[in-house]
Every structure is written in structure tokens, then in C-alpha cells.
Homo-oligomer: A and B are copies of this chain.
Amino acid sequence: MLTIALAKGSLLKDSIKLLQSIGLDFSAFLEPGCRQLQIIDPTGTAKALFVRNGDVPVYVEYGQAQLGIVGYDVIREKTPNVAQVLDLKFGGCRLSVAVKASSPYRSSLELPLQGRIATSFVHCSREYFDGLDLPVDIVPLHGSVELGPITGMSEAIVDLVATGNTLRENGLVEIDTLFYSTARLIAYPLSYRLNTYDLQTHVQRLSDVLTAQTP
């Protein structure tokens, strides 16, 4: 059966809405208190796995899910061996460098040599600062990276920004952006090429829905 890995969290609602538009209903995941990890849609066409954001490309890379919906930021950070087949347009955010508003730094290049950067995007940050030829010390954190500058552990953070509220609440300002991100439909390359479970038809139908939505 066609299996689709869906990310818990901010992308879930839009992911489910999009799949409903091609007749696959996984809205049971949205019911409060739902503890299920996998659901088969009422027509028996496809199964959805309900996993952590960062785990979506793992299920697709190992072929356990033929399709997955995940943020471009995760793909950039983890560089999984998957096919990116559609830009789904929702879940817009950006990966940005931010510093304390009271700091003297107003662009990444002004950051001090060997300055510390707290981030959960270790790979993207390393690539970015290497590209600027600025030697920095990347401090890997998994949550509340804004504590880095607040406690004085790091001069800056690299983190996802959607509304900017978390930065504002913590007295931080964006000074540069690494890249913009949206949700992507990814596929297990072999299944896509062999058109397993009529995969390409499903992708085409999703593509048609997205085209119809574009003004």
C-alpha cells in the first residue's frame, strides 16, 4: 500500500488538507488526543505515518514510505537521498542569523572571529560560515537556541523564523538569512522511477491541485 510519511507539528494541518484534495483522508490525526502512529485512509488507498519532522526523510530514504511531506530546511540540513518532487508552497519560513538587539553586529560578516553560533542546524550553519570564510564555533543545541545569546554562551544563533515572535520576545534581531523554506513533497527515488503504487499519478494530481491554487 502507498505509504506517506507526515511530519507532526506545524506542517501537519496543511499536509492533511492537501492530501484530502486528492481524496486521501488522514484527518483522524488531527483529532485531539490521537495517539495513533499510522492510519489507513477510509478508501483503503494509502497509509500515513505520523512522525517527527526530522524523521520524515529517513522513512522515505529507506523506502518504508514512498512519499513524504517535510520542510525544505530539513532536507537542507540532513541531505537525505530522496527525490524532491514538488514545492507545496505552505509552511513558509526562513533560516536566519540572529543576535541580541543590543549587540553591535548588523550582518554575519561583522561577527567576531571564533564567535560562537548556537543552532540545531549544524550542517547548514557550517556550510554558510565556511562560505563566508568566517571561522566560528558552532554550538549544537536542540531546543531554545535563543538561550545562547541570552546567557552569553553565543554571540548569535541560526534558527528558523516564521513570524519573528520568538525572536522579539527574547530581544533578538535577524541580521542575515541563509535560505527560505517551504514544505516539499519527497519520494523514494526507486519507487518514483518504477511508478510503484501508481505514485506518479498521485504526484501529478497534487501538482494539478497546486497549479489550480496559484493565482
Contact = CB atoms under 8 A, between A and B. Distances in A.
Contacts of A141: 51-52, 55, 58
Describe A's contact surface by its main secondary structure. mixed
A49 interface: yes
A49 B116 CA distance: 18
List the number of copies, as a whole number: 2
Contacts of A58: 139-141
Contacts of A64: 151-153
Contacts of A8: 143
Contact of A147 (B51, B140, B142, B143): B51
A147 B62 CA distance: 13
Given A37-B150, A51-B141, 5 more contacts: A8-B143, A38-B147, A58-B139, A62-B139, A62-B153
Contacts of A142: 52, 54-55
